[in-house]
Amino acid sequence: MEKLNHKIHPGNIVVTMLAVVVIIAGSVYFFQYWQYSDHFEETNDAQVESYINPVSARVGGYIDQVRFNEHQLVKKGDTLVVLDRKEYSAQLAAAEAGVEDAHAQLDVLSAGILSAQNGMLVNQDQINGAQARYVQQQKDISRYTNLVHEEAATGAELEQVKARYDVAESDFSAARNNLKTSLSRVAELKTHYGVLHADIKRKEAALELAKLNLSYTIIRASYAGRVGRKNILEGQQIQPGQPLVSIINEAEKWITANFKETQVEGMYLGQPVEIRVDAISKKIFRGRIVAIAGSTGSRFSLLPPDNSTGNFVKIIQRVPVKIEFTDEQSGKVIPGMNVSVAAKKRVKL
C-alpha cells in the first residue's frame, strides 16, 4: 500500500505557537498574581477623601465684593467676600456714643457727689455758728433772769432775750437737719454708682458686639485650600448662617478603602499600603493604615439591614479602613478620585 504523506499547514503551526505562548503568559500572570495576593490584600473600592467645609456668613447684608474665583487656591486669612459695611459702621458709632454718654453720666454723678460733700462742709460751718449763737443766748437768758430778780432789768428785756434764744435754738436745729439731709443726698448719689457702672458694662458689651459684627462683614478663609463653585455675586443679599462657598483642605488628604470582611483579618494600625490612583498612571504612592472601622459600612447607612425579617441572603460586608499618605502627595490627587490599594500582609515566620 502507498503511504500517504500529510503535510502540516503553516497556519496550524502559527496557531499552535500562539496557543502555547498564551498558555505560558497566562500561567506566568496567574503565578505572579498568586504570589502578589499571597503578600497583599487588595481592593479597588477606595476613594480619596478630604475635609470640605462650607464658609458661612456670620451676619446678613448685601455683598459688596467677591474676591475669589472658582476652584482658586487660597491661603488662611485670605479675604473671600466683603459685605456692605455702612449699616454696621453706623451701629458701631452709636455704640461708641452710648459708651461715651455712660462715662459722661458717671462724671456728672461724681461732680454731684463732690458738690454735696462740699455742701456738708458748709452745713457743718452753719451748725458751728448756730451752736455758738445758741450757747450765747442761753447765757443771756441766765444773766437777764438774775438781773430781773435784782430789778436791774425789765421783764420786757428778758422776753426779748428769750425770743432771741428761741430763734437761735431753731437755727441750730435747722443747721443739724440740713447736715442730715446732705448726708442722705450723698448716700443716695453713691447708690447710683452701681447702676451707672452696670450701664457702662452693658454699653461696652454692645460696643464689642458692634465691633464683632463689623469685622464679620469681611469673610476670610479659615484655612488654606481650594475653593469650590462660585454661586454668589455682588449685590446679592445673604442671611446669617448662609453657606457662601466651600473650601477643600489641600493640606490633609486620606483614603477610605472598603475591604471585604474576609480581608481585614490580620490588618493592623501602621500597616504599609501601596496606593495606585486611577487618574495617575505609572505612579505608586505609599501609605499606612491609621484606623480600622469598628463596624461595617452598612451599619452606618440610613436604613441598616435587618436579617431577622424576610428571607436571608448572605452578602459579604465591607469594612472601611482609613489610610494616610506617607510620601509626598501629588497635586493632581484630589478628593473623590478612585484608587486601588494593596495592604502588605505581615510576614509569617
Of 79-88, 192-201, 263-272, least confident by mean pLDDT is 192-201
Bridge partner residues of 255 (DSSP): 48, 323
What does 230-283 look like in DSSP terms, one character per residue? ----TT-EE-TT-EEEEEEEEEEEEEEEEEETTT-TT--TT-EEEEEETTSTT-
Do residues 158 and 144 lie in contact, with contact meaning Cβ atoms separated by under 8 Å? yes
In the sheet that 61-66 helps form, which strands lie side by side, from edge to edge?
218-220, 79-83, 61-66, 237-238
Q: What is the pLDDT of residue 87?
A: 93
CA distance 142 to 139: 5
- Is domain 40-82+228-344 given the CATH code 2.40.30.170 in the classification? yes
Q: What is the pLDDT of residue 240?
A: 93
Give the total residue count for the chain: 349
**280 has a pLDDT exceeding 60:** yes
CB-side neighbour CA atoms (13 Å) of 336: 2
* Residue linked to cell 443679599: 237
Query: What percentage of the chain has pLDDT greater than the value 70?
Result: 84
| Average pLDDT over the chain, rounded to an integer | 82
Q: What is the pLDDT of residue 150?
A: 67
Distances (CA, A) of 346 to 33, 34, 271: 18, 16, 8
Rounded mean pLDDT of 121-127?
A: 73
CA distance 349 to 302: 43
Give the global pTM.
Answer: 0.65
**117 has a pLDDT exceeding 80:** no
CA distance 170 to 127: 11
**331 has a pLDDT exceeding 80:** no
**pLDDT grade for 84, boundaries at 50, 70 and 90:** very high
What does 41-77 look like in DSSP terms, one character per residue? EEEEEEEEEEEEEEEE-SS-EEEEEE---TT-EE-TT
SS3 166: helix
Cβ-based neighbour number of residue 54 at 10 Å: 11
Do the domains spanning 40-82+228-344 and 86-214 agree at the CATH topology level? no
* Residue linked to cell 446669617: 240
Q: What is the pLDDT of residue 2?
A: 47
**DSSP run (H or E) holding 124:** helix 86-149
Please give the grid coordinates belonging to residue 101: 454718654
Distances (CA, A) of 307 to 66, 131, 304: 53, 105, 10
**pLDDT grade for 1, boundaries at 50, 70 and 90:** very low
More confident residue, 164 or 232: 232
Do residues 253 and 323 lie in contact, with contact meaning Cβ atoms separated by under 8 Å? no
Q: What is the pLDDT of residue 8?
A: 60
Query: What is the 8-class DSSP label of residue 347?
Result: P
- Indicate the fold that domain 86-214 takes in CATH: Helix Hairpins (1.10.287)
**312 has a pLDDT exceeding 60:** yes
Rounded mean pLDDT of 147-170?
A: 70
CA distance 68 to 301: 36
**153 has a pLDDT exceeding 70:** no
Residue 339 phi/psi, 5° resolution?
A: -135, 160
**238 has a pLDDT exceeding 90:** yes
**pLDDT grade for 74, boundaries at 50, 70 and 90:** very high
**pLDDT grade for 254, boundaries at 50, 70 and 90:** very high
The structural domains of the chain, with segments of one domain joined by +, span: 40-82+228-344, 86-214
Rounded mean pLDDT of 314-340?
A: 86
**pLDDT grade for 35, boundaries at 50, 70 and 90:** low
**pLDDT grade for 111, boundaries at 50, 70 and 90:** confident
SS3 108: helix
Do residues 137 and 168 lie in contact, with contact meaning Cβ atoms separated by under 8 Å? yes
CA distance 236 to 81: 11
Torsion sign (Cα): 120, 122, 125, 131: negative
CB-side neighbour CA atoms (13 Å) of 75: 1
CA distance 131 to 123: 12
Q: What is the pLDDT of residue 203?
A: 92
Of 1-5, 55-59, 143-147, 211-215, least confident by mean pLDDT is 1-5
**347 has a pLDDT exceeding 60:** no
Q: What is the pLDDT of residue 206?
A: 94
More confident residue, 273 or 171: 273
Q: Which of 116-130, 140-154, 163-177, 313-327 has the highest mean pLDDT?
A: 313-327
